[in-house]
Homo-oligomer: A and B are copies of this chain.
Amino acid sequence: MRATQFLIATEKETPADAVVISHKLMLRSGMIRKLAAGLYTWMPLGLRTLRKVEAIVREEMDRAGAQEILMPTVQPAELWEESGRWYQYGGELMRLKDRHNREFCYGPTAEEVVTDIARNNLSSYKQLPMNLYQVQTKFRDETRPRFGVMRAREFMMKDGYSFHASEESLQETYERMHAAYSRIFTRLGLDFRPVLADTGSIGGASSHEFHVLAESGEDDIAFSDSSDYAANVELAEAIAPTGERPAASATLEKVETPAVSSVEDVAKLLNIATSDVLKAIVVRGTSEAEDAEEGEAGEPVVLFLRGDHQLNEIKAEKLPGVLSPLQFASAEEVQKVGGVAGFTGPRGLSARVYVDRSAAHMADFACGANEADAHFTGANWGRDFEEGTVVDLRNVVAGDPSPCGQGTLDIKRGIEVGHIFQLGTKYSEALKATVLDENGKDRVMTMGCYGIGVSRVVAAAIEQNNDDNGIIWPDAIAPFQIGIVPMHMHKSEAVRNTAETLYKELTEAGFDVFMDDRDKKTSPGVKFADMELMGIPHRVVISDRGLEAGTLEYKHRNAEEKEDISADSVLEVLKQRVKLG
């Protein structure tokens, strides 16, 4: 592509409303333009990368035996009523009515539609397993769309769904998808990790998220330093400390702590570590009344953690008797079970109590005295109060032993770009998607689902690959792998001829080449800056001075130094260095 034939829409200024780096760089490099909140046009530069991501996803899905289809974006309400999601899905579901007042939604995913296709087109277990996918526009009416295409309302997603006659078959396809996803993100040139993920309220057997590692990620991922173990911190198990709990050695004393209630303040006042303070969190419990409605709150439940640990809400809300989603108790509710907000401790409580494994291992600690402005010191489980049920309640932290049994955990931030999920029969049961089994009996199909946020991958790749000058594309998804800057092309016939020849040869060799043939009104400095902003990984500068010495100047976007390369060998050198997807 010649610069003079390309819509270059680079901008010097960083747009005011862009917060994350990928959003800033996508706007500044001219990859996208905002149409309205959460709605973006992919400009020629951005679309080139988006299509490359799409192509790699498609190739690997096909290679793994999945079949591509294309479902409508507009889906009838009836199917969502069958699954129940018409009522459960909140404001994110973009609902619409046609001219005959029939209700539809703009699909945020397509479980209902694909299950409808399966029940209408599959009749025998012999047709299974069947793995269908599409790359299609989705819509989620986010309350607060932000971060550009990272959390847009309209976005491009690859969503796949598999159908099975047995759990074993699902497991097999799930593993094949796991491998396909690993190949996809490897080919995209990204540093990523598949991590164990929470299966959520659907409660399928297994689930993995695929995260691109980047400082700006919204998720915390825990890794073992000695094995492949990786899990979302939401899910990673905090194993119990080894060895016996230290014996009690201090005596229980009540101390005045007027208006001092946070763990940090208590530790400071008492001159102890926060890990020696017991933290109490009171949450609402489920109602045990016979006529209780779903979600109705009953007696509060008290959770105890070590002062330096964070509550893991997902672990907490799965505990028996705890209301899900988690709700914190009011001061009045705390009082009802014998606590005092800000000063709650284990002594004399009349509530169900859960103690985190690490908290249960504490000795001679400080805790609330269940009196305003008072704490105990020298407190000990067993001796001073019962310890309740010991469970895993906290987020893992760096340095924790890995739950896999090997090494210790490290924590990194990640951006979720893929998710695979053993769905089970949630949708197939609701929609009665059955096939005849070996015995001629109806059998509800078991399902898996497999998503990749195609447009999000583009943003995540930038979050992982950038510097002060702009984007640094991995070769496989660079809009152009190679940039040519012919210096004073309009004056020098030698430069012009060399540039044209190289451009032709590289294009014929299958590379996407960007030749900056803009005239002298665009300075070399502007051309270099545009190329760096746009993230073109390989740059060749052609100048009269170089040609006199028989060389072209080569620089990788990532390299500190330029190199002089013999003009004769430049084609071969680039063929070796540029890695096409």
Contact = CB atoms under 8 A, between A and B. Distances in A.
Interface of A: 5-7, 9, 33, 35-36, 39-44, 47, 50, 65, 67-76, 91, 94, 96, 98-99, 102, 104, 106, 113, 116-117, 120-121, 127, 130, 132, 137, 139, 141, 143, 153-154
Given A7-B130, A137-B137, A141-B99, A44 B67 contact: yes
Contacts of A40: 72
B94 A96 contact: yes
28 contacts: A5-B65, A6-B67, A7-B127, A7-B130, A7-B132, A9-B121, A33-B121, A35-B113, A36-B104, A39-B74, A39-B76, A40-B72, A41-B70, A41-B72, A41-B113, A42-B69, A43-B117, A44-B69, A44-B132, A47-B69, A47-B70, A50-B70, A73-B73, A73-B137, A73-B154, A74-B154, A94-B98, A137-B137
Contact of A69 (B39, B43, B70): B43
Contacts of A43: 69, 117, 121
A74 B141 CA distance: 11
Contacts of A127: 7
A41 B67 contact: no
Given A35-B116, A50-B70, 13 more contacts: A7-B127, A35-B71, A35-B76, A36-B102, A41-B117, A42-B71, A44-B132, A72-B154, A91-B99, A94-B98, A96-B96, A98-B141, A99-B143
B44 A153 contact: no
A522 to B, nearest CB: 11
B33 A75 contact: no
A43 B130 CA distance: 13
Contacts of A94: 74, 96, 98
B121 A7 contact: yes
Contacts of A39: 72, 74, 76
A513 to B, nearest CB: 14
A563 B154 CA distance: 53
Copies in the assembly, this chain: 2
Nearest to A114: B41
Contacts of A35: 71-72, 75-76, 113, 116
A69 B31 CA distance: 10
Nearest to A8: B127
A427 to B, nearest CB: 16
Identify the interface centre among A36, A42, A127, A143: most chain B CB within 10 Å of its CB: A36
A515 to B, nearest CB: 15
Nearest to A130: B7
Nearest to A122: B7
A155 to B, nearest CB: 10
Identify the interface centre among A41, A67, A113, A137: most chain B CB within 10 Å of its CB: A41
A507 to B, nearest CB: 13
Contacts of A42: 69-71
A101 to B, nearest CB: 11
A137 B107 CA distance: 13
Contacts of A69: 41-44, 47
Contact of A76 (B7, B36, B104, B113): B36
Nearest to A42: B70
Identify the interface centre among A33, A91, A116: most chain B CB within 10 Å of its CB: A33
Contacts of A74: 39, 94, 106, 139, 153-154
Contacts of A7: 67, 121, 127, 130, 132
A116 B33 CA distance: 10
Contacts of A137: 73, 137
